[in-house]
């Protein structure tokens, strides 16, 4: 049993999400309040403590078979267990992989339970490789729009951007897990062991309560020019670069040993602000950890995208303090039924017109 009393809960959803959350816990030496959710009982046997089986009576621990509807129903059946997992939490961080059954279906229901209890949530979700097929891509797109509606903040990691064309499947999956685990563990250290510039749980809660959709990346370097190398790596990675979407706020964490200099903090901060816009807000936290970061400097950068919508808040957003998510698909799909539950079939939001879901351009 996980005995951590932290007010922040790290949750993994689905087999891959549980694997990522478990990897984060290992990087942090097990000092994490962990909640692992899956419809497959085998995950609990492999991942260990903090496991909650979803839909035991419905699916008998055999998994969802890639069916997102079955996974959603399984999570609904297990509402009490979900509530127990987050009892006393002030903030939830969720790792999941979209496209398949449990990650795509159960994540939404878990977020709804958090919303009802007023617990802000930040989601780290990997989206499928292009070669995995259109069905998984459709499942992921439908789930992404719903996550944006329910989560306080959401980061979607496109796997095609993360890995190079030379990676084989095993290398790509290992690299995916390592990247997500590294990013979340750095983020976790910022909150749980703040340094000279604090980013504690309550401050983070305020930052992400209306953050919306974002992008993130991590970078590390050693040597006398480490800060400049980290900054260059962050601004050049395809995980952060997106010329079509403006940035409304930046959250940056810098982790180093006791040799961290103010000039290094300024180098990273100024480079990020210069590259991604100085009009929005900028929040910074540091960790000074001589044991784990002696001689090295690591940084995690989170960019939150501009909203651009002026519609009134929904009841859910008034409860949680979150902002309205106004992606083009959501606006088209919901219209005057904006507060209605989306119609989802096999992971696809049927409230979205077919020409939008299929990315078909129509003439005027």
For residue range 196-216, list pLDDT tens digits in order.
787 766 777 777 776 778 888
Domain that holds residue 246: 214-305
Nearest by Cα to 191 from 6, 5, 4: 6
Instruction: Identify whether 350 is part of a domain.
Output: no
Q: What is the pTM of this model?
A: 0.75
Q: 27 and 140 share a domain?
A: yes
Q: 61 and 184 share a domain?
A: yes
Give the number of domains in the chain. Answer: 2
Q: What is the pLDDT of residue 79?
A: 93
pLDDT tens digits along 82-127? 999 999 998 899 999 887 789 888 999 999 999 999 998 999 998 8
pLDDT at 361 over 60: no
11 vs 213, more confident:
11
Nearest by Cα to 110 from 63, 136, 74: 74
Residue 353 and residue 331 in contact, taking contact as beta carbons nearer than 8 Å: no
Q: 138 and 252 share a domain?
A: no
Q: 142 and 246 share a domain?
A: no
Q: Which residues contact 124 (CB under 8 A, 6 or more apart)?
A: 20, 93, 94, 95, 96, 155, 157, 180, 183, 184, 216
Q: 180 and 224 share a domain?
A: no
Q: 50 and 155 share a domain?
A: yes
Q: What is the mean pLDDT of residues 330-349?
A: 47
Distance CA 126, CA 132 (A): 13
Instruction: Identify whether 65 is part of a domain.
Output: yes
Strand partners, 220: 298
pLDDT at 1 over 50: no
Nearest by Cα to 296 from 217, 219, 223, 207: 223
Q: 31 and 138 share a domain?
A: yes
Distance CA 87, CA 161 (A): 36
pLDDT tens digits along 33-61? 899 999 999 888 776 678 999 998 888 88
Nearest by Cα to 8 from 27, 20, 21: 21
Q: What is the mean pLDDT of the chain?
A: 78
pLDDT at 63 over 50: yes
Instruction: Identify whether 84 is part of a domain.
Output: yes
- Phi, psi for 207 (deg, rounded to 5): -65, -45
276 vs 355, more confident:
276
pLDDT at 191 over 80: no
Instruction: Identify whether 349 is part of a domain.
Output: no
Q: 141 and 285 share a domain?
A: no
Instruction: Identify whether 198 is part of a domain.
Output: no
Angle (CA) 190-323-139 rounded to 5° is: 85
Q: 13 and 161 share a domain?
A: yes
Instruction: Identify whether 355 is part of a domain.
Output: no
Angle (CA) 213-18-98 rounded to 5° is: 45
pLDDT at 165 over 70: no
């Amino acid at each position: 049993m996980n005995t951590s009393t932290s007010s922040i809960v790290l949750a993994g959803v689905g087999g891959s999400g549980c694997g990522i959350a478990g990897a984060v816990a290992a990087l942090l030496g097990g000092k994490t309040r962990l909640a692992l959710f899956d419809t497959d009982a085998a995950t609990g046997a492999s991942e260990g403590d903090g496991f909650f089986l979803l839909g035991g009576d419905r699916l008998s621990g055999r998994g969802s078979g890639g069916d997102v509807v079955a996974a959603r129903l399984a999570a609904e059946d297990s509402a009490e267990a979900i509530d127990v997992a987050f009892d006393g939490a002030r903030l939830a961080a969720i790792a999941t992989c979209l496209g398949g059954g449990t990650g795509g279906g159960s994540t939404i229901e878990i977020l709804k339970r958090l919303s009802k209890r007023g617990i802000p949530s930040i989601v780290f979700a990997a989206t499928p490789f292009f070669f995995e097929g259109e069905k998984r891509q459709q499942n992921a797109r439908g789930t992404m729009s719903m996550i944006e509606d329910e989560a306080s903040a959401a980061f979607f990691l496109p796997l095609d951007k993360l890995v190079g064309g030379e990676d084989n499947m095993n290398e790509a999956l290992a690299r995916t897990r390592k990247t997500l685990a590294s990013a979340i563990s750095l983020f976790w250290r910022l909150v749980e062991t703040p340094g000279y510039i604090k980013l504690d749980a309550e401050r983070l809660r305020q930052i992400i309560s209306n953050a919306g959709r974002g992008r993130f990346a991590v970078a590390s370097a050693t040597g006398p020019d480490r800060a400049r190398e980290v900054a260059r790596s962050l601004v050049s990675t395809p995980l952060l670069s997106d010329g079509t979407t403006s940035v409304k706020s930046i959250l940056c964490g810098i982790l180093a040993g006791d040799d961290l200099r103010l000039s290094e903090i300024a180098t990273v901060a100024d480079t990020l602000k210069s590259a991604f816009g100085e009009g929005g807000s900028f929040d910074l936290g540091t960790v000074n950890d001589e044991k784990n970061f002696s001689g090295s400097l690591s940084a995690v950068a989170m960019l939150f995208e501009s909203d651009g919508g002026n519609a009134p808040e929904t009841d859910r957003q008034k409860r949680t303090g979150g902002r309205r998510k106004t992606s083009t698909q959501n606006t088209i799909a919901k219209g005057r039924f904006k507060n209605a539950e989306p119609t989802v079939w096999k992971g696809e939001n049927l409230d979205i017109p077919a020409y939008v879901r299929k990315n078909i351009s129509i003439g005027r």
